[in-house]
Chain A
């Protein structure tokens, strides 16, 4: 325990035994369910294939292979552009719904999260039906105007789909941050003569910066590491698909897939480190918690109409995959035509009749995983920002590194590390359903962690000091002051983790051992493998979207009520 040294600089930074225990517990979790499994897999990257000895020659091969270098730069380009496009979607939605008395703000916020819960496979299939080269939009364009737009072709297609898919990361984190800005800041600025766009640019947006950077870095890393979308668009010259293609090909036990995984992990860590650097040395905390967020204004009709139109357009675009999915779920045959040939409800009957287990499992796994994530997320955020326990930073980096671990690597790692451990009853630990929960928790921990960190960054330490001066113990302060003040961020973290865990497939598919343990995404995958199953798969996808949508709406409701309560008690 030499690494956890005591720091005595200030009273609030004193290291307590509780903190050390927390660090040790979280470290154990990360070691057993992230580091060991991943190490068991990527060790191959450092082995000479012939002799098994340690070598770096595989990395030299990486740098000398045109395909990999090209893939690397393609990935960087696609990720950066996705952040830009996603910001364009997210900024207006976040701004209008948090700054104005906006009818249906909760609905917009909920709908804005729905793109995250596009189940794999289903989303790209639906997008192809709408925006593909012979999708609805292009068939209509061709018919009436005689041209087509290659929305879904090549790298630009990936950027298009990824921005739609991941912009909610920015929306959620930015909205939470905007809500957390104190009204008095804005009022002071207004008193000093600032207003309009200048007020937003100079005061509001900078104060919301932690949320924006948290969201943007998630988008960047997520797009950098995502393989489902490029693969479904059949774009393979990007880094993550290259890793996946090599790791999962039969008969090829070559190290390059693992080398690429290492490169992915390192690149993501660098991106995270840059986002930390960007935030360093800046204090975003505001002490007052009187107003309960930004002042909400009425919009003048002249402003309101364009705002509603813009939001409707953005929502129509980002919800397009779901509209496509819905049409698919009630379609009989949909082939080379703008709309399906006929409609039916039989797919829903099929799904509800024989897939109830999938739905229940999904809710169970995703809520457990998201629960674990916010507990660990709050703990790490607190340890990093409020204590001087050595190693807390490393917990943060390690937990975030999970973002960079391709799901299939984690899945294989779980199998490799824990398959030999036999539970009483003869089942292997690796295939016990709890392991699916743990794999999901590890994979989605970064989302919850970033949201919790951003939330805590906005809580001024002086509030805690005040509580302690009034005699509250550390634990009581955390319980009664810190966590309640972070509620918005915690809910955002829970929702993101839950929603994305509910549709995760790449790690789960390696761990699912029996259909009775399988989550919904797996069932969807199974359905989507046959022409007759497409409609049923889409119906299952719609059910997933509905479940997560309802949960999201409920948590917003809780957050809103909580805010109202806080605002109410202070006035």
Chain B
């Protein structure tokens, strides 16, 4: 008897679903794959649909990595018109896989560069529509309750009071964090850059798997500080959370991008959307409290809400004015991410233990100077900072190819082998660093 009931229920649901399928006949549909949240995409969808009656904008939300994978898997019968996301690397990857279509926007008034970063892809495959810088956000209630300082620069996060209060997304999981790590590496140099990354690493409470995990944790007060892209901080403020955001001196400003997908089913509409996004009304929408991104058209800043910085007014590149090298970043993307994961993400406990021991020893040293102990602490710090591969080696074709699909030489090392070597290297050095730091602490007793 129950089976009959069930069958009837199933039959009726089937019939209803059939009627849904009929109602879905597409008329002038624009399909956008994006990593941006609803709060960002909704105002654009509404405005664009209003400006173009009869057009439906279909938003598909995927994280950047999944979106790249999706476009690659579906290229044989592409149904996506636009790719809309932050990380320029992802667009660089799409361009190399020949998944994007060339176009030249007609909008005027947008400069060629912001800071040292070209706003549009020089070859015309993707276009910057908003600028983003990387920085540090923190929860003011958390910081007050724990009597913690307010950071100004990356190095601050490596200091003792910040121990176990900082969060970052794994660069292998988050295109934007990858750029932050790469910015530090390029701005400070390979060795010094990794030293900073690992010293901050030692203070981490967690390495999150999603980009949004960091601002979410800071907003709710699970962590004190997070390394994030600026709009996470601004839009959290917009939503009323007790958070602050700062740009450190070594940061870079990078455009968030849009690109037309190759063989787009509705290329005309796709172009119209790009034009709209870059036009003055499109740029002004970026100031919405839930979006809060920096427009790439300098004229737009006349209407900026309070608290929004104008990136065209200040020097972005800080120390020495280095030029962020996208090619370099793209080439060693897999290697840098794996190095970070193997030496920090997956070695977090030993790294934190060693770092805590160093902080403790340094606190004692400050009270009672002792050259021998100071030397031991320095050794411990150097052991932590040590990298299994030098900069040039990391760019060697053997290693780079091990992290790219196929095409490697027969005898070349495999990715899994390299990762095991690096992990072991890091684990051994952290254990030694811990021993040195404890020895130093003993000498200071």
Contacts and interface: CB of A to CB of B under 8 A. Distances in A.
B409 interface: yes
A251 B5 CA distance: 50
Interface in B395-411: 403-410
B419 A335 contact: no
B419 A67 contact: yes
A58 B416 contact: yes
Which 6 pairs show the lowest CB-CB distances between chains A and B?
A253-B405, A336-B221, A530-B37, A61-B416, A529-B37, A250-B65
Interface stretch (A4-12, A192-200, A507-515): A507-515
A428 B74 contact: yes
A569 interface: no
A494 B10 CA distance: 13
Contacts of B183: none
A484 B1 contact: yes
A49 B416 CA distance: 11
B424 interface: yes
Contact of B31 (A62, A65, A66, A514): A514
B38 A61 contact: no
B10 A134 contact: no
Contact of B219 (A49, A67, A245, A335): A335
Contact of A50 (B145, B212, B407): B407
Contacts of A252: 172, 334, 337, 403, 405, 415
Contact of B346 (A237, A367, A513): A237
20 contacts: A57-B414, A65-B423, A67-B419, A125-B216, A134-B142, A232-B209, A237-B346, A241-B209, A248-B69, A250-B90, A337-B141, A374-B6, A412-B73, A419-B73, A422-B77, A483-B2, A510-B70, A515-B58, A516-B24, A531-B232
Interface stretch (B102-110, B233-241, B306-314, B355-363): B233-241
Interface string B1-37: 1110110011001101100110010000001000001
A351 to B, nearest CB: 11
B40 interface: yes
A530 B42 CA distance: 12
Contacts of B175: 250
Interface of B: 1-3, 5-6, 9-10, 13-14, 16-17, 20-21, 24, 31, 37-40, 58-62, 64-66, 68-70, 73-74, 76-77, 79, 90, 93, 139, 141-142, 145, 170, 172-173, 175, 205-210, 212-213, 215-217, 219-222, 232, 235-236, 238-242, 289-290, 333-334, 337, 342, 345-346, 403-410, 412, 414-417, 419-420, 423-424, 427
B212 A515 contact: no
Q: How large is the interface on A (under 10, 10 to 19, 20 to 34, 35 or more residues)?
A: 35 or more
Given A419-B74, A433-B21, A527-B38, A251 B424 contact: no
Residue among A337, A427, A526, A558 having the largest count of chain B Cβ atoms under 10 Å: A526
Interface in A376-400: none
Interface string A484-520: 1001001100100000000000000110111110000
A51 B219 CA distance: 48
A453 B141 CA distance: 54
B60 A530 contact: no
Interface in A381-440: 412, 415-416, 419-420, 422, 427-428, 431, 433
Contacts of B289: 532
A62 B416 contact: yes
Nearest to B169: A234
B416 A65 contact: yes
A513 B60 contact: yes
A205 interface: no
Contacts of B9: 367, 371
A251 B333 contact: yes
Given A51-B410, A248-B69, A252-B334, A367 B416 contact: no
B404 A61 contact: no
A428 B77 CA distance: 7
Given A65-B423, A529-B212, A531-B216, 19 more contacts: A66-B420, A66-B427, A133-B205, A231-B210, A232-B213, A241-B209, A336-B221, A371-B10, A415-B74, A419-B74, A483-B2, A484-B1, A512-B60, A514-B31, A530-B40, A531-B219, A531-B239, A532-B239, A533-B38
Nearest to A342: B240
Nearest to B206: A234
Contacts of B333: 250-251
Contacts of A433: 17, 21
A121 to B, nearest CB: 9
A541 interface: no
A461 interface: no
A41 B328 CA distance: 31
A556 to B, nearest CB: 13
A514 B32 CA distance: 10
B406 A67 contact: no
Given A254-B405, A364-B13, A513 B79 contact: yes
Contacts of B406: 49-50, 52, 253
B207 A368 contact: no
A442 to B, nearest CB: 17
Interface string A305-345: 00000000000000000000000000011111100000000
A249 interface: yes
A139 to B, nearest CB: 9
A236 B345 contact: yes
Contacts of B410: 50-51
Interface string A518-544: 000010011111111110000000000
Nearest to B16: A364
A67 B420 contact: yes
